[in-house]
Chain A
Amino acid sequence: MKFQLIFPKWRKLEGQTTFNLPPHGAVVFAATIPDYVEVEFIDENLEEMRFDDDVEFVGISMLLTTQIKRGWAIADEYRKRGKKVIFGGISTMLHAEETMLHADAVFLGEAEGHMEQVFKDFRNGQLKKVYNHMNDLPPIEIVGPARRELYNRDLYYHKGVQMLDLFHASRGCKYSCYPCAVSYLGGRQFRPRPIDRSIEELETIDNNRLFIVDNSLAQDTQWEKDLFREMIPLKKKWCSHTIEDKPEVLDLAAQAGAWYVYQAVFDTSDYIKRRVKQYHDYGIGVEGTILLGLDNQTEDDIKRLIDFLLEIDLDLAEFTVLAPFPHTKAYNDLIKQDRIFNKNWDDYNAGQVVYQPKHMSPERLQELYQYAWDTFYKDETQEEKMFKLLKKVVSREMDDGTFRKRRPDLSKTSFGKNVKPKIA
């Protein structure tokens, strides 16, 4: 039986360097599909859709809100052709009711342990409209290695350099941050995977560079230290969201190959300055993530924040404007205050203002968002700063013998497309 699994494309933010990383959720999901099913994976960001392939059942895996309308359009095409379509993934859960209008079935929750039943129902012509497992999270021990063999690997190279592979060591989050829907999606309980299972999976990944996509590794110090300690012999190099800033954690993280971490910069405090310095002291780079447009920010605050970023020696910075995703406190607050004026989900890309900010017009916030990118990268472009970070990791790889040369056969392509050489 053939199952086509699709990751829909979305509109990338203008003016920013686009990197296509191999999608993670879809292949984690694929690992839960029964063995008798042959899975064909299409990442529409890099491949053309193949609506007329000879497949019996179609799955659409959706991660982002800005991706869902395309996901619905794809489903409509398949259903016109008489194919059954099931949706799953993060943005399916965030937009479940709307998605049901385009689906034969939606799956809500985590897929482990439930796909035998779904495929059995499909084969018996008894697919249910909703598989609601939001309140029925699987034991974390059964989360298996993602099926990365489904990727069309050569597409995830830029001029011969392989992109990072994604990996997760835990689910859930004990925090409930203002703009984040993770607690709705993954439960408010932090659920670390057993360390031996994580290490087992890491060993199977044919890539020395990883992005550990966990919401926050900084949730259980002992687990975090144990994970890093066990990762040391693998000699992987990785970036991740926040890790704890305790010296013993940072020391182990550095030994385990921490390359750079994302650090939310929400004010101009000494705390942030100290934290960035601490990471650097351990040889760990920092990419600041800066959310603009919160109710406590005036124009002056945003300008001061950008000046501060230049002072604290961040390696990279990523600016976003608040996107009020459903099931977040941000969304609830703005809905109550009737401040959301744009409900076109295509525009919920964290680069477009879709609500009325408290201290300025939406247009002014949009300008300040552009000003933030332009000012931070005025003297050194994003690509140049990324290259500096890359040089650091290459030097570490050379030292420990893990460096891989770029692939010459892909040196003139970028994500599957030919690149024109730059003429000086």
Chain B
Amino acid sequence: MEANASKYQDEVYNFNGLWDVPSICGLKIVMKQDKSIIIATDLFDDNPGTSITEWNTNLAKELCDKYKIDVNQLVYIEHTPDKKTKLSFNQESFYKVQFEILNDKFANPKWEQMTKEDVDNLITE
């Protein structure tokens, strides 16, 4: 993996995606006193299954349960690394995702684009 991408990824996380298809994403979790930051990275061609965006309500819930993260302190970020093409839609992007909690499930994701600096500041502040 490239040095730049690894900054936002400590491990490859395996999950069962849509229709139980085995899927992977990059994962970094930063625990702070007042917030828990999850960065899920889309692994594109290396991922045999569902994308993090399609599965985010389930994935975010699964990660919160597994790592005992308080949903009220959650900052959930979707990261798509640069695909190294000259096409602008393949460039790196970060989105903060906010969920509603309905019957103990995550629902209705809303995305807000962030800059890399925003993310770095969140991690280091």
**Binary interface profile of A, 124-157, with partner B (CB < 8 Å = 1, else 0)?**
0000000010110000000000000000000000
Given A178-B89, A178-B90, A337-B113, residue A135 in contact with residue B44 (CB < 8 A): no
Which residue among B44, B51, B89, B113 has the maximum number of chain A CB atoms within 10 Å of its CB? Answer: B89
Contact A108 B54 (CB under 8 A): no
Q: Which of A175, A176, A178, A184 contacts B87 (CB 8 A)?
A: A178
Interface: B53 (CB within 8 A): yes
The CA of A229 and the CA of B114, in the complex, are separated in Å by 52
Contact A329 B21 (CB under 8 A): no
Contact A327 B54 (CB under 8 A): yes
Contacts of A178 in B (CB 8 A): 87, 89-90
Given A188-B45, A188-B48, A327-B54, residue A132 in contact with residue B89 (CB < 8 A): no
* Majority secondary structure, A binding face: loop
Interface: A81 (CB within 8 A): no
Contacts of A374 in B (CB 8 A): none
The CA of A297 and the CA of B62, in the complex, are separated in Å by 38
Size of B's binding interface in residues, CB under 8 A: 21
Contacts of B89 in A (CB 8 A): 178, 294-296, 329-330, 333
Contact A294 B87 (CB under 8 A): yes
**Binary interface profile of A, 287-309, with partner B (CB < 8 Å = 1, else 0)?**
00000001110000000000000
In the assembled complex, the CB of B96 is this many whole angstroms from the nearest CB of chain A, namely 11
Contacts of A360 in B (CB 8 A): none
In the assembled complex, the CB of B112 is this many whole angstroms from the nearest CB of chain A, namely 9
Contact A132 B19 (CB under 8 A): yes
Interface: B88 (CB within 8 A): yes
Interface: A335 (CB within 8 A): yes
**Binary interface profile of A, 167-189, with partner B (CB < 8 Å = 1, else 0)?**
00000001110100000100111
Contact B51 A332 (CB under 8 A): yes
Interface: A405 (CB within 8 A): no
- The B-contacting residues of A in range 48-75, CB under 8 angstroms, are none
Interface: B20 (CB within 8 A): yes
Interface: A336 (CB within 8 A): yes
Contact B19 A332 (CB under 8 A): no
- The A-contacting residues of B in range 83-120, CB under 8 angstroms, are 87-90, 95, 111, 113
Contact A335 B53 (CB under 8 A): yes
The CA of A175 and the CA of B45, in the complex, are separated in Å by 7
In the assembled complex, the CB of B122 is this many whole angstroms from the nearest CB of chain A, namely 18
Q: Which residue of A lies closest to B112 (CB)?
A: A336
- The A-contacting residues of B in range 1-47, CB under 8 angstroms, are 18-22, 44-45, 47
**Binary interface profile of B, 35-79, with partner A (CB < 8 Å = 1, else 0)?**
000000000110110110110000000000000000000000010
Q: Which residue of B lies closest to A174 (CB)?
A: B45
Q: Which residues in B have some Cβ–Cβ distance to A below 8 Å? A: 18-22, 44-45, 47-48, 50-51, 53-54, 78, 87-90, 95, 111, 113
Q: 5 extra interchain contacts, Cβ-Cβ under 8 A, other than A332-B51, A337-B111?
A: A178-B87, A188-B45, A329-B44, A332-B53, A336-B78
